[in-house]
Amino acid sequence: MKKILVVIVALCFLNSNSFAQDPEVRPAAIGVSFFFNDYLTPSRIRSQSLTKVLADKQWAKTKEMSPGLAVSYFQGFSKHVDFAGTLAGSFVKDALGNGRVLNNQFLLEADASFNLKMVSEKYLVQPYLIAGVGASMYKGSYFGAFIPTGVGMRLNIMDDAALFVTSQYRIPVTKETSNYHLFYQFGVAGRIGKKAEPVVLKPLPPAPPLDTDKDGIIDSLDKCPTVPGLEKYNGCPIPDTDKDGVNDEEDKCPTVPGLAKYQGCPVPDTDKDGINDEEDKCPTVAGVARYQGCPVPDTDGDGVNDEDDRCPSEAGLAENFGCPTLEQFKFNAKKVQFVSGSATLTAAAKVELDKGAVIMSEHPDLKISIEGHTDNTGKEDKNQALSEKRAEAVKAYFVKKGINADRLVTIGYGQSTPIADNKTVQGRAANRRVEFKAAR
């Protein structure tokens, strides 16, 4: 075993001049590295299984591993095969097989391996596979042999240096004097020896000027050498800045995409409503898209457009949401009175409400809100209830006269919205009222 160790160490330092210089073949290099020997994880895997070790997170931590230092020699054989020799030293206690455990003792390992690279030297990152032979000396008296297998990665950081990492599974051949273990290595390597002299080729005689597109402008002066063009555009065709298919010399809107029939300009929008004239049914009057460029209609011509008009087919007042008011038809809301302190309609009130019922019948789109009010005589909660009852009494009268209840809304405001001074008899009388407004 001692002879094997000496041979491997010698192979690590072969003379680099014995290998040919090729820019895609790795030149000779020396590297130094820091590593960890992990005996615990292989032991767990062999006693259990890899799946269980991973599932139970039993992979050894760095504090359970043995650190060490190594020196390596590298030399390329071909584009995809490198030789690597490593001499590594560390202090371990698990280097012997068959479960024998000693105190930490010095372990010297030497290996010679081939790195089977995925790519050649011209690439920045080079992954590779590792396979070889190795020998070990433990405690100065135990000599063993092992097989290193694994993977590595090299990163060229400049022409003369590289970073490398490897992960190896070292399989013992002499199981009495060596043991299964993982070897994690992190290092830097530098070229040794002279660089190959670059090959200098004689320059070829100058070729005649090219004119690839045959437009009479040589390629060195032609900004569009593969497309025929004009001299005033430096050999390029007439530009089309807005890419609308109309060249700038014929385009009246050269920076805005348009149509040929509008001389390169967009479809016009005469009324500036955001809808172009080709889609606008009212091209000279600003409108909205949902009415195809026309304004919102006002069917009844009362100045309130249909979208805001609660009575779009019947002319009304803007302040009444586009609906007519009963007062427009000579209805006098002031005559709608009640017996004092009650919700009982007076005879005069019923006569006036009869007029209102006729008006409602003749205008089926009209919906009204009946709003009851009181003066401040008495308690506020009773006045609120009374105002609601009075509004309901008017509604009931209209329904009795054949008006659909769905067209009538009631609300009581009590004494909260006076229109006159409650300190006077006249004021209180004015506040005891029913108002009729448009309803939704």
Tens digit of pLDDT for each residue in 253-299? Answer: 988 898 888 888 888 878 888 888 878 888 888 888 888 888 888 78
- Gap between the Cα atoms of 135 and 87, Å rounded: 10
Token pair in block for residue 123:
């690439």
Domain-embedded: residue 266: no
Nearest to 152 by CA among 31, 257, 68: 31
For residue 334, being part of any structural domain is answered with: yes
Q: Is residue 152 part of a domain?
A: yes
**How high does pLDDT run on average in the chain?**
85
Q: What is the residue whose two structure tokens read 């391996």?
A: 113
Nearest to 185 by CA among 100, 290, 72: 72
Closest CA to 36 of 123, 121, 84, 94: 94
CA dist., res. 306 & res. 298, Å (int): 5
Residues across the chain:
440
Distance CA 47, CA 60 (A): 14
208 lies in some domain: no
Q: Which residue ranges in the chain fall short of pLDDT 50? A: 1, 4-5, 7-9, 11-20
- The SS3 of residue 352 is helix
The answer to the question of residue 283 being in a domain is no
In a domain, 254, yes or no: no
Amino acid in position 332 = N
Q: Which amino acid makes up residue 37?
A: N
Which of 169, 191, 213 delimits the end of a domain?
191
DSSP 160-179: TEEEEEEEEEEEESSTTT--
Q: Where are the beta strands (DSSP E) in 105-221?
A: 105-117, 125-138, 142-158, 161-172, 181-191
**Could you say which of 191, 221, 240 is where a domain stops?**
191
The answer to whether the CB of 1 falls within 8 A of the CB of 177 is yes
* Domain annotation covers residue 409: yes
Q: Angle 42-183-155 (CA atoms, 0-180°, nearest 5)?
A: 135
Q: Which of 344, 309, 341 is nearest to 324 (CA)?
A: 309
Residue 304 sits at the vertex; the CA angle it makes with 302 and 310, to the nearest 5 degrees, is 100
φ, ψ for residue 229 (rounded to 5)?
A: -150, -160
Please give the tally of structural domains in the chain.
2
Please say which residue of 191, 222, 238 terminates a domain: 191
> 413: burial class by Cβ within 10 Å (0-12, 13-18, 19+)?
middle
Q: What is the CATH number of the domain that holds 112?
A: 2.40.160.20
The pTM is what?
0.43
Residues 325 and 182 in one domain: no
Q: Please report, for residues 213, 323, 324, 367, 398, the alpha-carbon distance to residue 327 in angstroms, rounded to integers and kept in the order given.
A: 87, 12, 8, 14, 16
66-109 tens-digit pLDDT = 999 999 999 989 889 999 999 999 999 887 876 666 688 899 99
Tokens 């506040």 belong to residue: 431
Are residues 184 and 323 part of one domain? no
**Pair 183, 324 in one domain:** no
Instruction: Supply the range of the domain harboring residue 385.
Output: 318-438
Is 26:76 a contact under the CB 8 Å cutoff? yes
Position 438: which residue type?
A
Q: Using alpha carbons only, how large is the chain's radius of gyration in Å? A: 51
Q: Which amino acid appears at position 236 of this protein?
A: C
- The answer to whether residues 186 and 326 belong to one domain is no
Q: Which two tokens stand for residue 150?
A: 């694994």
- Mark whether 322 and 186 lie in a shared domain: no
Instruction: Give domain status of residue 256, yes or no.
Output: no
Question: In CATH, what number is assigned to the domain containing residue 373?
Answer: 3.30.1330.60
